[in-house]
């Protein structure tokens, strides 16, 4: 993407100050090491750099080549970008000889520039090639997958990742259509879905859930999230914090359950002769759960569904 093209697509970072504030970058921690696992267009990264001390360090990750191009414009020596999923954070840090970090920020989902750029194929509102890959240098596009996937797999993806009750009808319609013509455009798929969906949710395009489902599947977003949360936790220092913004229920459920499993530790039978000091201890503590203010939602309607969850790793736990 050229510089001129890049300016056409803007991104308002959701919960910008709240998510960065939650990392607790202050005093001696200001010279710590922090991770921005989802660079996007760099809103959170730039604010973290403002907060960091002269010896602090920020390592950012992103799969999107356009995000990598944007990150390359940051010349701050404390900053480094990795062209990969945040699920690889443990391996990346090992290659950099870094054992622990002081905080991890994740801003899940897709960014406004990705949605607004018709050439990326994420949106049904403008016609474009049915791609949907965050990293266009790897993997199958949505069009390529829909051309070969079995009907049962398409139904499963749309049902599980889109929570779409008409998944059976949509999958059947896709397979029937591809026998007559290739499904290669976003409008083409959206119109097909609209004909297959019998009733519509008020204020929501009938293709919304299907596009969400295929995008999540193509980019392995939920798998990356599960692996990435565990990897981030494994490199988090005692009292290090994880600040995670999610935008839909599937993401938020994974984050919520990940934190809960480390906050509430199963205790053995009280009748067993176990000393208090030997009882299993919580690995994390929850610090906050926030949603965007009414003012932020009014400025940026796409912030409406965002949820920020923050947790801190406790000392003395086991990975």
C-alpha gyration radius of the chain: 21
116 is in an annotated binding site: no
**How far apart, in whole angstroms, are the C-alpha atoms of residue 261 and residue 118?**
40
316 is in an annotated binding site: no
**How far apart, in whole angstroms, are the C-alpha atoms of residue 187 and residue 302?**
21
Q: What is the DSSP string of the chain?
A: --HHHHTTS----TTHHHHHHTT---GGGGGSEEEES--TTSHHHHHHHHHS-TT-EEEEEES-HHHHHHHTT---TTEEEEEB-GGGHHHHHHHTT---EEEEEEE-S--HHHHH-GGG---SSS--BS---SSTTSS--HHHHHHH--HHHHHHHHHHHH--TTHHHHHHHHHHHHTTS---BHHHHHHHHHHH-SS--TTS-TTHHHHHHHHHHHTTHHHHHHHHHHHHHHTEEEEEEEEEEE-SHHHHHHHHHHHHHHHSPPPPPTTS---GGGS---SEEEEEEE---HHHHHH-GGGTT-EEEEEEEPTT---
Question: Of 228, 136, 160, 149, whose CA–CA distance to 183 is shortest?
Answer: 149
39 is in an annotated binding site: no
205 is in an annotated binding site: no
The residues that bridge with 243 in the sheet, in sequence order, are 105, 310
53 is in an annotated binding site: no
55 is in an annotated binding site: no
62 is in an annotated binding site: yes
**How far apart, in whole angstroms, are the C-alpha atoms of residue 86 and residue 124?**
27
Detail the residues annotated as belonging to a binding site for S-adenosyl-L-methionine. 42-44, 62, 86, 107, 114
Detail the residues annotated as belonging to a binding site. 42-44, 62, 86, 107, 114
């Amino acid at each position: 993407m050229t510089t001129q093209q890049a300016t056409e697509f803007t991104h308002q970072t959701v919960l910008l100050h709240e998510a960065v504030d939650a990392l607790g970058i202050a005093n001696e921690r200001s010279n710590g090491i922090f991770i921005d696992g989802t660079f996007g267009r760099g809103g959170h990264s730039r604010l973290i750099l403002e907060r960091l001390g002269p010896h602090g360090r920020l390592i950012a990750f992103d799969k999107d080549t356009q995000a990598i191009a944007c990150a390359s414009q940051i010349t701050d020596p404390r900053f480094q970008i990795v062209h990969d999923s945040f699920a690889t954070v443990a391996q990346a840090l090992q290659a950099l000889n870094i054992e622990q970090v002081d905080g991890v920020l994740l801003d899940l989902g897709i960014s406004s520039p990705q949605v607004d750029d018709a050439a990326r194929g994420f949106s049904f509102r403008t016609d474009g090639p049915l791609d949907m890959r965050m990293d266009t240098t790897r993997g199958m596009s949505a069009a390529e997958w829909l051309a070969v996937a079995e009907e049962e797999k398409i139904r499963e993806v749309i049902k599980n990742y889109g929570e779409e009750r008409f998944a059976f009808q949509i999958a059947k319609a896709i397979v029937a259509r591809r026998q007559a013509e290739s499904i290669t455009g976003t409008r083409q798929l959206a119109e097909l879905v609209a004909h297959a969906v019998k009733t519509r949710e008020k204020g929501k395009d009938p293709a919304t859930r299907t596009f969400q489902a295929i995008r999540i599947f193509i980019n392995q977003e939920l798998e990356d999230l599960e692996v990435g949360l565990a990897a981030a936790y494994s490199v988090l220092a005692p009292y290090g914090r994880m600040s995670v913004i999610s935008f839909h229920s599937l993401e938020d459920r994974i984050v919520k359950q990940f934190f809960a499993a480390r906050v509430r530790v199963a205790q053995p039978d009280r009748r067993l002769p176990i000393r208090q000091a030997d009882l299993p201890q919580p690995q994390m503590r929850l610090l906050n759960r926030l949603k965007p203010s009414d003012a932020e939602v009014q400025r940026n309607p796409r912030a409406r569904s965002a949820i920020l969850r923050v947790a801190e790793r406790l000392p003395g736990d086991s990975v």
